[in-house]
Structure 1
Amino acid sequence: MKNKISSILFILLIASILLLFTTRFDNDGWFLLNSGRYVENYGIPHTEPFTIHEGFHFVMQQWLFALGLWKIYEISQMQGMLLFNWISGAIFIYIFYKLLQLVDNHDTAVSRTITAGATVLLSFYFCQRPQVISGLIFLIEIYVLEYFKNRERPPLIIYGLFFIFSLLLINIHAAMWPMLSVFILPYAAESIFGARIPWFRHSFLWKWKYTALLWLPILIAGFINPYGIEAMTYAFHSYGYEGINSLVTEMHPLSIGPNFYASVILPIILILIVIYARNPLPLHWILLFAGTSFMSFLAIRSIFLFLIAGIFPLAYILHLHSFRRKSQAVTSWKHTWPMMVLMHIATIVGVYCIFLKNTIPSEKFIPLCTIIFLVFALSIACAYILWKERNKQAEIRSNARNLFSTLVLLLLVPLFYLYFNKPLINPALKKSVEIIQENASGHPVSLWTGYNEGPYAEFQGLPCYIDARAEVFLPKLNHKKDVFAEYVSLRSGELDYHDFVKRYHFTHLLTTTNDILYTYLKNDKDYILLWDSDTDDSISTEERNNLKDKYRVYKYQPE
């Protein structure tokens, strides 16, 4: 019965974290939905169809994911988008948990502790982007290799699985297709060198030829896509561009500042692994850890790969060190009750601060307080059980974990009400596009937008100057023009906006405080201000305060 209670609390905790951090719509989802709708109506494109630029060579490297996402949206709109986040996140965390159990000999305490922490970090990546599916494929790839690593010869079904992995990945997220082969490299290294190096624990027993053979089905399946070698080599043409790396946040290296949390959490994980890894580890674990951690320091987006392939050995390390060597003194009631009191005080203060710094809607205040009271009562019940079983060392450990899970749930409850109160679609962006469509009255529109505003405008049928598909605007891929460099020059002031607008026949311009046109056009007699988010009463004060940028819509109308 106690194990069931612990399992229920663990599932509730994971579900709560997933619901809290994945209930959002990612801005990239708009161009993916737009792409999926296009594929359904017109087939696979080879010329870029959504912007004002003509004749751009185009590889829709995420076409299958985009089509699937569009079908979900077509059936169930935004509810389907959120359901996609929740279900894909739950499947991902379940496989991650099973991987941890595989390497820590089913040490439940270790697996659940790491899973709970990793869920918080991983949840930020569970959104309407193909990285969810590509990451899931990588996770299953590692699980399969770890599951069969103790056999001298792998079953033939593995080669069929890797063919399927490759076939899915090249069509769902072609830019990440090479990583399927990269993740085999650490295992290949151990199959060749592992037994010859005494400093490592040799655990991958395949002969090198069986490991190398995995690349054959990957390569064969890679050719089965609408773009052939172009899709297979997409990553080599779309990454490493200095302009994109400087503008796109997820391409930035780790640094103290906007990336503070990632910059702190990642080194903490690295330090923990170095401190506790006093026993020999398999070579492929060390290579996976070192390679993905190095990638994470180079670009924030690679933290997702580090969480997938770099931290699961921590379960084995903690199983051997921390949990196996706990003494009676550490888990005695004398050492437990002060921490229990401190956790309760910290949680109460945390809930109070949430109420103090945020306005709770009046219609939600009573039900919110009721739920908080019930969860707090549950935490008191857990504390009582912990006191009742104070003379049993094993029960103290188990009940202390239950108490901790309950108190974390108590903190999450008010955050749910605040987080779910935010709109999924940026209200200012939505209103801007509506103003443009209304003003155009069915006439053709050539629209200026910035990098982040383009996807939604294009989804609504307005051809734009640029959108969040950064690599599409590089000459290496479009075979025409470096639009991205032009955009960066305009933002930095190196390109005069008068010269810029002469190159294009914009009918409307959707500007934000993030670009120079927001201010300059207001004093230009050739442009009429149609709408300003800062003065529109239809946008509530709360929504306006939550806006990252202010919006202005201009119409080109020379005197």
Structure 2
Amino acid sequence: MKIINRISAFAALKNFIEDYKEYIFNLFFFGCLFIAFIYGISFNVMNDGFWHIKVGEYIVKNKTIPYHDVFSWYGMSKNLEWTSHEWLFGILAYLVYSIKGFISAAIFMGIINVLIVFSLYKLLRIRSKNRWIALICMSSYIVMFGSETSLAYRPIIVSMLLIIVTCILLEKNKYIAALLVVILGINFHGGVYPIYIIIFAYYTLFKNYKYFIAALLGILVNPYIYGIYLYTIRSMNEMDLQKRYINEWRVTQLYDLKVSLTIIIFIVFVYIFGRVKLKDILFSGSFIILAISSVRQIPFLPILALPLVCPYIERALNEFIRSYVFKNKFVRYTRLKIKIFRGNLVKYVIIIGLELVFIIPSVMYSYDFFKDGMKIFSVNDSDCPVHAVEYINRHPEIKSSHLLSHYNDSQYLIFRGIPTFVDSRADLFLPSFNKDTNAFYDFMHTCIDLNNPQDLINKYDIKYILIGKSYSFYNMIKSYENLSVVYEDPDYCIFKVNYYIGNIY
């Protein structure tokens, strides 16, 4: 009797899916677009976005692209060379922000994220020729940025869209249009040019190599010409130092990123059961390696690695179902009695189940977003030195001095028009970019490794120190005799350096 009831339940499920699969698909698809918009407008990471806005403001107002530092008092005093390879995003970021501040920035993020999701679906649909597979792979992008990493007001948001569009155009053999997108993309975010090269290599290297050469030359169409190539080469020279101090460049801790780990495991599953071509294994594997090498590269898993293997997913599922599911005794018995497993029922059940696993947390996130009053990004007093910056702007003797601030606060200071010492444009302050400086290491050695700050104060003639009370560096210096407090609030403190002491105890 129980077996008959189970068979009836499976039959009912089969009939329901067959009758309503169009509605089910549309519900999931448009639900994903809606959730993508919610994730976009509720973005909570600005960091470098602060100074990107100021870059755009500088370019628009001065009608010139900077080739030397314009934001750090130290960089300006040394006339440090600066490759502002994200200059076009800066203009876009500034123009968007100029409309309605962070409100317009949030709407922009929502729209861009919807375009990313829609374009990713189109790419996945073209390659897999199966809309359900395209849907589930597209959903992995959404849930990744909802549960493991956050969308940020940075050039990568535009790069993800343009990378996907480039792939779509190359899938349709529209090489010239793809080249134009690459040129646009390089000026939005020059640091990702190796990704465009890999994409063109995949689509053109052995059959239309002239377009691969054209892509290599197209990357030179930017204000810094071959400087974009040199930028990445120089970055690699100092990568060990940056990985030591900058979290997003550190090796990805996959055990903390379950969605990313699941994507990698699923791709390996496709490798095993899908009889994937060596070419697709090599190229998709290269993006897996990139994602593992640093947290910053994780987005390449859903937008590039998955699309590369998606043509093999249906084959892999069929092989898995044939080899493991249909060998189950209950399934074999059921197939003999009632043909409920004819067609794609098992695959539909697996895909819909995965989609529910992906989408339910996102639905809960959206619910909480509306329940909490649809809060969008705003500057938080505890995260940014809002009141301390207002104090500095009222005291020109501090603003025009050699001010030391923490690396994590530097973006906001630039945003508010205050010159910094070392900021998150780390390459500026490294000897691989500017031979006569090692300010990045000096700062990190003192403020992060907590070595004797007097060496830093003396070497760079520091006059004031702005530091958050949550930083270990604050606890280290707050009792030093040659520092006096000129400003203090619950979260931040400004010290004045009163006199020199050979050694501080």
Residue pair 2:140, 2:358 contacting (<8 A) in 1 also: no
Structure-2 residue corresponding to 1:15: 34
Root mean square deviation of aligned Cα: 3.5
Residues 443, 239 of structure 1: alpha-carbon distance in 2 compared, 3 angstrom cutoff: closer
1:413 to partner: Cα distance? 4.3
Structure-2 residue corresponding to 1:377: none
**Separation (CA, whole Å) in 2 of partners of 1:421 and 1:169:** 31
TM-score calculated relative to the size of structure 2: 0.79
Provide the secondary structure at the position in 2 that maps to 1:234. helix
Structure-1 residue corresponding to 2:124: 100
Provide the secondary structure at the position in 1 that maps to 2:496. strand
1:285 pairs, out of 276, 280, 283, with 280
Q: Could you give the per-residue CA deviations for residues 378-398 of structure 1, whole angstroms, max 9, x where no partner exists?
A: xxxxxxxxxxxxxx9969959
1:292 to partner: Cα distance? 0.8
Residues 315, 420 of structure 1: alpha-carbon distance in 2 compared, 3 angstrom cutoff: same
What is the total number of aligned residue pairs between the two structures?
Answer: 456
What percentage of aligned pairs have identical amino acids?
18
Provide the secondary structure at the position in 1 that maps to 2:495. strand
1:291 to partner: Cα distance? 0.6
1:295 aligns with 2:320: no
Residues 323, 78 of structure 1: alpha-carbon distance in 2 compared, 3 angstrom cutoff: farther
Residues 222-231 or 397-406, more deviating: 397-406
Residue pair 1:20, 1:419 contacting (<8 A) in 2 also: no
**Separation (CA, whole Å) in 2 of partners of 1:494 and 1:405:** 43
Matches within 5 A, 1:467-486: 467-486=423-442
1:231 to partner: Cα distance? 2.3
Runs (5+) with no aligned partner, structure 2: 1-18, 332-342, 501-505
**Separation (CA, whole Å) in 2 of partners of 1:403 and 1:463:** 49
Structure-1 residue corresponding to 2:13: none
Residues 88, 180 of structure 1: alpha-carbon distance in 2 compared, 3 angstrom cutoff: same
Provide the secondary structure at the position in 2 that maps to 1:59. coil
Structure-2 residue corresponding to 1:166: 182
Residues 270, 163 of structure 1: alpha-carbon distance in 2 compared, 3 angstrom cutoff: closer
2:248 counterpart letter in structure 1: E
1:426 pairs, out of 376, 380, 384, with 380
Structure-2 residue corresponding to 1:555: 496
1:33 counterpart letter in structure 2: I
Residues 219, 271 of structure 1: alpha-carbon distance in 2 compared, 3 angstrom cutoff: closer
1:411 aligns with 2:364: yes
Provide the secondary structure at the position in 2 that maps to 1:466. coil
1:119 pairs, out of 127, 142, 149, with 142
Structure-2 residue corresponding to 1:204: none
1:178 aligns with 2:194: yes
1:88 aligns with 2:88: no
Residue pair 1:14, 1:119 contacting (<8 A) in 2 also: no
Structure-1 residue corresponding to 2:44: 24
Q: Could you give the per-residue CA deviations for residues 218-273 of structure 1, whole angstroms, max 9, x where no partner exists?
A: 23333332222112321111234222111111111123xxx6433x4434323323
Structure-1 residue corresponding to 2:264: 270
Residues 243, 515 of structure 1: alpha-carbon distance in 2 compared, 3 angstrom cutoff: farther
1:246 aligns with 2:244: yes
Residue pair 1:436, 1:508 contacting (<8 A) in 2 also: no
Residue pair 1:13, 1:405 contacting (<8 A) in 2 also: no
Provide the secondary structure at the position in 2 that maps to 1:480. coil
Provide the secondary structure at the position in 2 that maps to 1:253. coil
Q: Could you give the per-residue CA deviations for residues 306-326 of structure 1, whole angstroms, max 9, x where no partner exists?
A: 322111245333322436986
2:168 pairs, out of 137, 140, 143, with 143
**Separation (CA, whole Å) in 1 of partners of 2:237 and 2:36:** 34
Residues 425, 477 of structure 1: alpha-carbon distance in 2 compared, 3 angstrom cutoff: same
Structure-2 residue corresponding to 1:133: 158
Residues 436, 293 of structure 1: alpha-carbon distance in 2 compared, 3 angstrom cutoff: same
Provide the secondary structure at the position in 1 that maps to 2:171. helix
Residues 494, 73 of structure 1: alpha-carbon distance in 2 compared, 3 angstrom cutoff: closer
Provide the secondary structure at the position in 2 that maps to 1:132. helix
**Separation (CA, whole Å) in 2 of partners of 1:83 and 1:442:** 36
1:93 to partner: Cα distance? 0.8
**Separation (CA, whole Å) in 2 of partners of 1:440 and 1:399:** 61
Residue pair 1:454, 1:464 contacting (<8 A) in 2 also: yes
Structure-2 residue corresponding to 1:231: 228
1:132 to partner: Cα distance? 1.9
Residues 222, 406 of structure 1: alpha-carbon distance in 2 compared, 3 angstrom cutoff: closer
Q: Could you give the per-residue CA deviations for residues 454-512 of structure 1, whole angstroms, max 9, x where no partner exists?
A: 11101111111111111111122234311111112213557421222123343431113
**Separation (CA, whole Å) in 1 of partners of 2:393 and 2:423:** 18
Residues 7, 554 of structure 1: alpha-carbon distance in 2 compared, 3 angstrom cutoff: same
**Separation (CA, whole Å) in 1 of partners of 2:53 and 2:290:** 29
Residue pair 2:43, 2:377 contacting (<8 A) in 1 also: no
**Separation (CA, whole Å) in 1 of partners of 2:344 and 2:267:** 27
Runs (5+) with no aligned partner, structure 1: 149-156, 192-206, 336-391, 537-549
1:484 counterpart letter in structure 2: F
Residues 68, 17 of structure 1: alpha-carbon distance in 2 compared, 3 angstrom cutoff: closer
1:47 counterpart letter in structure 2: H
1:12 counterpart letter in structure 2: G
Provide the secondary structure at the position in 2 that maps to 1:254. coil
